[in-house]
Structure 1
Amino acid sequence: MKDLGPSRYCLGIEVVSSPKGYFLSHAKYANEVIHRASLTNTKISNTSVELNVKRNTTDGVLLDNPTLYQELVGCLVYLTVTRLDLAYVVHVKQTVVARSTAKVEYHAMAHATAEVVWLHCLLSDLGIPQSSPTSLYCDNHSAIQIAHNTVFYEQTKHIEIDCHFVRQHLQSGSISLPFRLFGSATC
């Protein structure tokens, strides 16, 4: 085995070192996926998805290049697994059916907290312990208040386990929960 020096790009993650720590980014990988799909000149738009539609193998038109489609799906799955913000948007918001946006946000917060705790353990094992809390940005005041409030109300009993889990890590200093309106600020 040979030491190749500091890591700069590994598994689609760009690594930039600074005196304050490491910055990890998927921007280069995401741009490569966009170029591979020939989507560089397209405009972003909201697309509604029909719910409860059953498809079969005879529906639609066959793709000219199914291998490209399969590769792109694999790339997008990788991005959602390795990027917590994408995993939050794609996985949690589509799989949790809730009458309350606070409930959806809180389930996502619990999922992200579990990922942060896992990353803290991994970094600690690599000799890079985290001394400050990781900020989980949330744009829902109710979800943040639930995390800070030690009293459970009737409306929150269905997310009580998530509440205990997030609150435990908030109080231990593993995470912090600053409010950020996502449509108007950059992370």
Structure 2
Amino acid sequence: MFIRHSSTCFIILLVYVDDVILVSNNITELEVPKTRLHNKFKLKNLGDLKYFLGLEVARSNNRIFVSQRAYALQLLEDLGYLGCKPVSTPMEPNLKLSQDENDKLADPTLYRKMIGKLQYLTITRPDIAYSVNKLSQFLAMPKFKHFQAAQRVLQYVKSTPGQGIFLPAASEIQLRVYTDADWAACVDTRRSTTGFCIFLGSSIISWKSKKQQMVSRSSAEAEYRAMANTTSELVWLLSLLKELRVEHKGPAIMYCDNKAAQHIAANHIFHERTKHIEIDCHLVREKVQQEVIKTAHVSTKEQLPDILTKALFPNQFRALKD
């Protein structure tokens, strides 16, 4: 990404191999870089952004909608699941997957192909991020139960091929963060799962579902590690906004449903009792003291990252997705 600022306008140039997006607050200013690029590389001007690397962009004066509908349908067709029976959730509620299964797949090629294609779909689909992340952990030696779980994700995609991200134009410049952890969720390693989602105003712009690198000895420790990972992402986003010269007033609000983790972040006395997570403690507390972030409590029922840390029942899944 290349950025140029002047006293009256800005130009952003995003390049991925031979695909280019140009953005500016002054359309006439785009003619100069377009002409220079065309003289050097013989580019083809495709007009307003509608399609980019499998992402479909629908625009109006007050909103943008980004989805991968065509890619999702092509994925189902390539894998032979275009006629499968749709389901309402990507994973069975409370499903626990493990390596300790006996029915090993004779040929794991199809399973790996499924997961590889689904991973790219998560760019605009936080609703399948947890399922794909979980199934990705069994690529080395997948079992039949894992294959069945992957089939269910495809059935869910069949029911929601046009699901995507809605970005309203009239949105305040305020970062809100929801972070959560499912303690000792992995049956094989007892590592916890981190989930977070970051909103700019009312628009979700970043999310992650990932297994933690270390075993946490308490739910508070697991939650605090999730807060540290989220803080790192948040600091990067704030630096990106600054580089784009977008002013973010006040600290970002980080919502967490674990009061023990919040107390550790706010009170240095707790740090003496948590030296085994000392680095994470210093990172989060430093940003709290600098007023980069401000922690706030949220009830477990309203904790949005639950959709990124565990398999949910249909009603709860639908509510969090909406």
For the residues of structure 1 that align with 2:211 and 2:262, how far apart are their CA atoms? Answer: 20
Structure 2 residue runs without a partner (length 5+):
1-12, 14-20, 26-48, 134-194, 198-206, 305-319
Q: Which amino acid aligns with 2:259?
A: H
The 5-angstrom pairing of residues 39-118 of structure 1 reads 40-43=86-89, 44=91, 45-50=93-98, 53=100, 59-60=104-105, 62=107, 67-76=113-122, 84-85=196-197, 86-87=207-208, 89-92=209-212, 95-118=213-236
Q: Which segment drifts farther, 7-16 or 117-126? A: 7-16
My pick for the range that moved more, 32-41 or 109-118, is 32-41
**SS of residue paired to 1:178:** strand
- What amino acid does structure 2 have at the position aligned with 1:41? V
What residue identity is the alignment partner of 1:47?
A: L
Aligned with 1:135 (options 253, 272, 282): 253
CA contact (8 A) 1:15 1:25 kept: yes
CA distance in 2: counterparts of 1:48 and 1:129, whole angstroms:
44
Q: Which structure: larger Rg?
A: 2
Whole-angstrom distance in 2 between the partners of 1:34 and 1:137: 36
Equivalent-residue separation in structure 2 for 1:60 and 1:75 (angstroms): 24
- Say how many residue pairs are matched: 176
Does the CA-based 8 Å contact 2:253-2:295 persist in structure 1?
Answer: yes
Q: Which digits, 9 at most, give the CA deviation of each residue in 1:42-63, with x for residues without a partner?
A: 3451210225x499xx931546
* 8 Å Cα contact 1:96/1:104 also seen in 2: no
Point out the structure with the larger strand share.
2
Fraction of identical pairs, as percent: 26
How far did 1:152 drift?
Answer: 3.8
Query: What are the superposed Cα offsets for residues 46-101 of structure 1, whole Å, 9 maximum, x if unpaired?
Result: 210225x499xx931546686444211343488669x84352x4333xx4311211
Counterpart code for 2:118: L
Task: Report the TM-score when normalising by structure 2.
Answer: 0.43
Does residue 148 (structure 1) correspond to residue 266 (structure 2)? The answer is yes
Aligned partner of residue 90 in structure 1, secondary structure: strand
Contact 2:75 2:117 in 1 (8 A): no
Q: C-alpha root-mean-square deviation of aligned residues, in Å? A: 4.4
- Output the TM-score relative to the length of structure 1: 0.67
CA distance in 2, matches of 1:24, 1:172: 34
Of residues 109-118 and 155-164 in structure 1, the stretch that sits farther from structure 2 once superposed is 155-164
Once the 2 structures are TM-superposed, how far is the Cα of residue 103 of structure 1 from its aligned partner? 0.6
Q: CA–CA distance in 1 between the matches of 2:24 and 2:271? A: 54
Instruction: Specify the code of the residue in structure 1 equivalent to 2:210.
Output: V
Greater share of helix: 1
Structure 1 unpaired stretches of 5+ = none
